[in-house]
Structure 1
Amino acid sequence: MFTLTSELLLTLFASSWIFVLCQETQEVTVKAGEDATLPCRGHRGAEITFIAWKTDDGYLFLFRDNRSREDDQLPSFCGRVELKDPKMKDGDVSVILKNVTINDTGTYECWIKEGNLLNSEPELFSTIKLTVTETQEVTVKVGEDATLQCQSHGGADISLIEWSRTDLKPDDGFVFLFSNDRSYEEIQHPYFYGRVELQDPEMKNGDASVILKNVNIKDTGTYECLIVGKNSRDRKRDVFEYISIIELTVTGHTAGHIWEGYVGVVCFLSLLLVAVGGFMVNQMIQRRHRPETTPDSESAEDALNPSSSSSV
């Protein structure tokens, strides 16, 4: 009896562990315009009779009665989703979402029904958190203000904003951090202290853009915006993340570069004056040491060369 109970407990533990693994959320990050593969796999060798990839708003992909049901798809996904392996070999029911956009950012669930038993219900096999990144190029001149754009998905309420720069370590501080309805300047990177503010302090329509003031050459770099927000329909669910990538280029010269230019010009002119002065002094010295020609010396020279005087 004890052995049977132990085996039963072991079976229950294994089943619960498998269920936890199936529920584990996987993160997939792609760039806007690329194709995103959302992985999901049923039991090997099982007959799959129903597949539903869904969000809170409806179906991303629906398969039943041995065919996909495009009529039941959300309009925004129509013609953009297909099975990675139409034969679903080894239970693979992963789908490919084509030409993703920022609006595709969100959480997707994969539900599978195996077998034809009437009493069986679809089971949740995979949860995917999809993040679509968008790279923008911003170019400004030295001394100007740079606006770094970032917008939450669907204009949802924002609970956290993190602006960072890829070449800075997280321990060094953030470019800008907003949480609990306020910004945290105390953990901001010293270089950006007092120079960054929200474009819209009220963050209307999910606007998480910031303004970087009085930029200089050192501000050139790659900036990332991370947003965590909540669906306004259910504040306890659907926490998502959105990443915006900004390539900032600052053109022109800083005051330091201008001063260096002035110094270079002054040094060049100084060297030029020294060279000209040296040349003039050298000419004066040569003139002083050159023997002067006198009338007596010319007569003596004519006497020594009578042929030259007779020819004249």
Structure 2
Amino acid sequence: MKDGDVSLILMNVTFNDTGTYECRVKTGNHHKKRANLGGDPISIITLRVFPPYQKVITAEPGQNAALTCRAPNNNSSITGVEWSRADLGDEYVLLYRDGRFDPEIQHPSYKNRVDLQDRQMKDGDVSLILNDVTINDAGAYECRVKTGTNIRKRANLDGDPISIITLRVDPPGRPEDGSVGLIVGLSVTAVLLVAAVVGFLVYKKHKQQQSQDSYQPPVEL
């Protein structure tokens, strides 16, 4: 505590660590009870824990999409996995709990179309595989996990997601912005080229007509 530095180091942060932390110190005589540290804190720190990343992926209708998610610290004692979308209400994209998948409260549009990339969830991998993507699948997908004891209620998985994946579904063959510019540029060039050729042919025909009009046959002797 050189120079009065009593800063706290919190390792392996989790979402449960979110909150307000108060720091108090005692100087002078030794103390044995917290009551001796009563009074106002010398520092108040609010810790907010955000998902490690928010990723955007793009797929076309009919393709399979992989939505990546990994539990913190590669935790292997995962007892619950939830993939959800806020616009689906109380229904899930995928729910795994008590050692099995729960299809009862799964949204009908995802039945038989979703699965975990690794059902063993090795190294904390709880990535979602979405088969046969449709336009209606576009949206933000949230990944939550539960570790430790078994779960039986959704409330145990409430809280901030550990990963948010936004899925964009583009119609097949839809050109990107750069491709649109290239196509437009090539189209303009083609039009100008055609116009130049037509203009040249018109000019050439006009000159030929002038030559015919100015032609005088030789005088017969």
Q: TM-score range by the shorter chain?
A: 0.5 to 0.7
CA RMSD of aligned residues (A): 3.3
Counterpart amino acid of residue 14 in structure 2:
T
Structure with the greater alpha carbon radius of gyration: 1
Question: Contact 1:226 / 1:242 at 8 angstroms: preserved in 2?
Answer: yes
Alpha-carbon distance between aligned partners in 2 of 1:242 and 1:129, rounded to the nearest angstrom: 16
User: Conserved in 2, the CA contact under 8 Å of 1:135 and 1:245?
Assistant: yes
Partner amino acid for 2:26?
G
Gaps of 5+ in 1: 1-63, 77-102, 232-238, 254-312
Residue correspondences, number: 152
- Partners of 1:211 and 1:115 lie apart in 2 by 55
Higher relative contact order (CA 8 A, sep 6+): 2
Match of 1:190 in 2: 108
Does the CA contact (< 8 Å) of 1:160 and 1:228 recur in 2?
A: yes
Deviations 1:135-158 (A, max 9, x none): 111111110101111100001121
Q: Does 1:120 align with 2:32?
A: yes
Q: Is 1:149 aligned with 2:68?
A: yes
Alpha-carbon contact 2:69-2:126 (below 8 Å) kept: yes
Query: Is the 2:142–2:161 contact (alpha carbons within 8 Å) kept by the matching residues of 1?
Result: no
Structure 1 Cα separation of the partners of residues 137 and 165 of structure 2: 12
Q: What residue is the counterpart of 2:128 in the other structure?
A: 210
Q: Does 1:178 align with 2:87?
A: no
Contact 1:138–1:248 (8 Å) recurs in 2: yes
Q: TM-score, normalised by structure 1?
A: 0.42
SS of the aligned residue for 2:104 comes to: helix
* CA contact 1:104–1:130 (8 Å) conserved in 2: no
Structure 1 CA distance for aligned equivalents of residues 81 and 9 of structure 2? 32
Q: Which residue of 2 aligns with 1:199?
A: 117
Give the Cα–Cα distance (whole angstroms) in 2 for the partners of residues 113 and 167 of structure 1: 44
Instruction: Give the deviation of 1:243 after TM superposition.
Output: 2.1
Correspondence for 2:80 among 138, 160, 170: 160
1:162–1:127 Cα change, 3 Å: farther
Q: 2: distance between equivalents of 1:149 and 1:196?
A: 13
Cα-to-partner distance string for 1:274-298 (whole Å, 9 max, x where unaligned): xxxxxxxxxxxxxxxxxxxxxxxxx
Whether 1:250 aligns to 2:169 is yes
C-alpha separation in 2, matches of 1:164 and 1:211? 13
What's the CA shift for 1:113?
Answer: 4.2
Counterpart Cα distance in 2 of 1:223 and 1:245: 6
Normalised to the residue count of structure 2, the TM-score between the two structures is: 0.58
Superimposed CA distance per residue, residues 11-46 of structure 1 (whole angstroms, 9 cap, x where no aligned partner)? xxxxxxxxxxxxxxxxxxxxxxxxxxxxxxxxxxxx
Instruction: Specify the code of the residue in structure 1 equivalent to 2:100.
Output: R
The alpha-carbon deviation at position 132 of structure 1 amounts to 2.1
On the 8 A contact 1:107/1:128 being kept in 2, the answer is no
Instruction: Report the CA distance between 1:119 and its aligned residue.
Output: 2.0
Contact 2:69 2:127 in 1 (8 A): yes
More strand by percentage: 1
